[in-house]
Chains A and B, each alone.
Chain A
Amino acid sequence: MFGPAEYNIRNERTERLWRILFLVMTILLIIPVLVILATLIVKGGPALSWEFLFDDPKDGMTKGGIFPALVGTIWLVTVALLVSVPLGVAAALYLSEYAPDNLFTRAINLAIINLAGVPSIVHALFGVGAFVIFFGFGTSILSASLTLAIMTLPVVIVATKESLQAVPYAFREACWSMGATRWQTIRRVVLPNAVSGILTGIILEVSRTTGETAPIMFTGAAFFLPFLPEGIFDQTMALSLHLFVVSTQVPNVPEHLPYGVALVLIAMVLIMNSASIALRIYLRSLKKW
């Protein structure tokens, strides 16, 4: 049998061992990403230049830049946001401010979870079946953006709902007790205090939309187009799809080119995410109540 002192020492040692094990697992989760980032920077960095960002692809996409893909991504994201933000904020307002706690509300929540869980390629199939064919939008920015909007809708809904629910219920009661309608309460007190939280959610959504590839492959994004889109019924190139194309579909691409595209894409996404996180931390430090 161990004496009490011996028992404690053994315990402390296992304790420390396990603690370190958990820490190592956490670090192992993060390290590959740092290695990957470093590799992208080292190999993709030399490709970056103003010409790379603002030139058209040349010589069968083996030379030149990514300008049309950048412009296309901006088109796709903007149109997607115009759809998903109003719809998502409305859904979140309903769930947070109006919905009674019943089976129907539960069905809505389940639908949102599933909307987030359906594979991106199934969203793409839906986009083809619904927007490209049934509604006759063809392969266009409109079809692709609608598909993207539906796919990322849960991001907006969840972020908005959380920001709305962070506003204390007592504020609402205080307004109602003076005869304010629910909408007046939302507009004057709830939304002004939730809007910055909603904004962080929208930045996250922009980031998600920027990186999505599968949903736009058959709905509006093209492998290569020699001109920029002029409206929502045009097709367009997109940065995410461009990375897929130059790394798998085009022969004789110099190595630095796809690394450069990957670096630009990941930089855009990570900058937006960091901005969103920074905004959130800053907002948490501003205590208004």
Chain B
Amino acid sequence: MVGTVPKLQVRGLAISYGGKPALSGVNLEIRENEIFGIIGPANAGKTSFLKSINRMDDFTVGMKVEGSILFEGKDVRDWRNVYALRQRIGVVFPLPVGLPLGIYDNVALAPRLSGIRRRSQLDDIVERCLTRAALWDEVKDRLNSLGSLLSGGQQQRLTIARALSQSPEILMLDEFSIAVDPVTTMRIEDVLRELRQELTIILVTNLVQQARRLADRTAFFLDGSCVEVGDTEDLFMGKVQSSSTTDYITGRFG
């Protein structure tokens, strides 16, 4: 069952780049062990929202963030060690990225950086993460070949395996299926359903039906604001506050 403990609380979040607002007035709550879907047309501010959560936007010049994002009660902007924050809140971007290292080293990179040296321990992590990302069987015999030369679908699963290697508490995915074939998409969706047992997932998706298949609750973003948040079933049953939500879900625009 979906927990009700809040993992992230977003209060009055507004993001602007060089004075141009990208997102404003976002208030929502993401709960432990749920899959939280975010849908909406392009330029709705979905990616800006994700990046602000684990501060991947820290180096963006001219960006301004107002409001607060409480992660276990503490604003992410108050974290002094942003790298420690990102270890706990991982993110997977739309385009798969296999680093030009061996497959093993791709997954072992982050654990190594945080000080794990013992080979047996690394072996465990690599096997566990690759298995959970549904890639282990395909690559277990060639763990030394370059991760950057895998197929797109494999690279995306490798990316997910890498994101899991730090045992994050929250995993954010940004339109992960955009460069992936339908079969791999289905496999990754299965992976996400299983991962929900252990962590909280925020799933930004351009596929409305993907949100319906996976998400417990879903938010609808439009033109830089969060129009609607609710149980996914309710949204798709038409129990909405704004008619634009239904319009988008039923494919009338976007």
A and B touching (C-beta < 8 Å)?
Answer: yes
Tell me the A residues contacting B by CB distance below 8 Å.
100-102, 170-171, 173-181, 184, 188-189, 193, 288-289
Q: Nearest Cβ distance between residue A191 and chain B, in whole angstroms?
A: 12
B residues within 8 A CB of A170? 93, 95, 97
CA distance A102 to B18 in the complex (A): 13
CA distance A178 to B91 in the complex (A): 8
A residues within 8 A CB of B191? none
A residues within 8 A CB of B92? 177
Report yes or no: B97 in contact with A188, Cβ–Cβ below 8 A: no
Pull 22 A–B residue pairs with CB atoms less than 8 Å apart, ordered by A.
Answer: A171-B100, A173-B97, A174-B99, A174-B159, A174-B162, A175-B99, A177-B56, A177-B93, A178-B109, A178-B166, A179-B83, A179-B86, A179-B90, A179-B114, A179-B166, A180-B83, A180-B109, A180-B113, A193-B100, A288-B146, A289-B98, A289-B100
CA distance A37 to B86 in the complex (A): 59
Q: Taking CB as reference atom, which chain B residue is nearest A193?
A: B100
Q: Mark B155-177, 1 if CB is under 8 A from A, else 0.
A: 00001001101100000000000
Q: Nearest Cβ distance between residue A288 and chain B, in whole angstroms?
A: 4
Report yes or no: B84 in contact with A177, Cβ–Cβ below 8 A: no
B residues within 8 A CB of A175? 99, 109
B162-220 with Cβ < 8 A to chain A:
162-163, 165-166
Q: Taking CB as reference atom, which chain A residue is nearest B86?
A: A179
Report yes or no: B83 in contact with A181, Cβ–Cβ below 8 A: yes
A residues within 8 A CB of B83? 179-181
Shortest beta-carbon contacts, A-B, top 5: A179-B87, A289-B148, A179-B86, A178-B110, A174-B97
CA distance A284 to B43 in the complex (A): 37
Report yes or no: A177 in contact with B163, Cβ–Cβ below 8 A: yes
Q: Is the interface of B mostly helix, strand, loop or mixed?
A: mixed
Not counting A101-B61, A177-B93, A178-B87, a sample of 16 additional A-B residue pairs whose C-beta atoms are within 8 angstroms of each other reads: A170-B95, A170-B97, A171-B99, A174-B97, A174-B99, A174-B162, A175-B109, A176-B56, A177-B90, A177-B91, A179-B86, A179-B88, A181-B83, A189-B99, A288-B146, A289-B148
User: Is B44's beta carbon under 8 Å from chain A?
Assistant: no
Q: Taking CB as reference atom, which chain B residue is nearest A174?
A: B97
B69-98 with Cβ < 8 A to chain A:
83-88, 90-93, 95, 97-98
Q: Which of B87, B93, B101 contacts A189 (CB 8 A)?
A: B101
When A178-B166, A288-B146 are in contact, do A188 and B86 touch as well, CB less than 8 Å? no
Q: Nearest Cβ distance between residue A275 and chain B, in whole angstroms?
A: 25
Q: Nearest Cβ distance between residue A162 and chain B, in whole angstroms?
A: 18
CA distance A94 to B90 in the complex (A): 27
Report yes or no: A178 in contact with B61, Cβ–Cβ below 8 A: no
A residues within 8 A CB of B88? 179
B residues within 8 A CB of A173? 56, 93, 97
Q: Taking CB as reference atom, which chain A residue is nearest B100?
A: A288
Q: Nearest Cβ distance between residue B18 and chain A, in whole angstroms?
A: 11
A residues within 8 A CB of B146? 288-289
CA distance A173 to B96 in the complex (A): 11
Q: Nearest Cβ distance between residue B164 and chain A, in whole angstroms?
A: 10
CA distance A288 to B106 in the complex (A): 14
A residues within 8 A CB of B10? none
CA distance A193 to B148 in the complex (A): 12
Report yes or no: B149 in contact with A289, Cβ–Cβ below 8 A: yes
Report yes or no: A188 in contact with B113, Cβ–Cβ below 8 A: yes
CA distance A188 to B101 in the complex (A): 9
A residues within 8 A CB of B109? 175, 178, 180, 188
Report yes or no: B97 in contact with A179, Cβ–Cβ below 8 A: no
B35-87 with Cβ < 8 A to chain A:
54, 56, 59, 61, 83-87
Q: Taking CB as reference atom, which chain B residue is nearest A184?
A: B113
Interface centre among A176, A179, A180, A289 (most CB of B within 10 A): A179
CA distance A243 to B98 in the complex (A): 53
CA distance A266 to B83 in the complex (A): 51
Q: Nearest Cβ distance between residue B34 and chain A, in whole angstroms?
A: 21
Report yes or no: A100 in contact with B61, Cβ–Cβ below 8 A: yes
A residues within 8 A CB of B91? 177
Report yes or no: B100 in contact with A178, Cβ–Cβ below 8 A: no
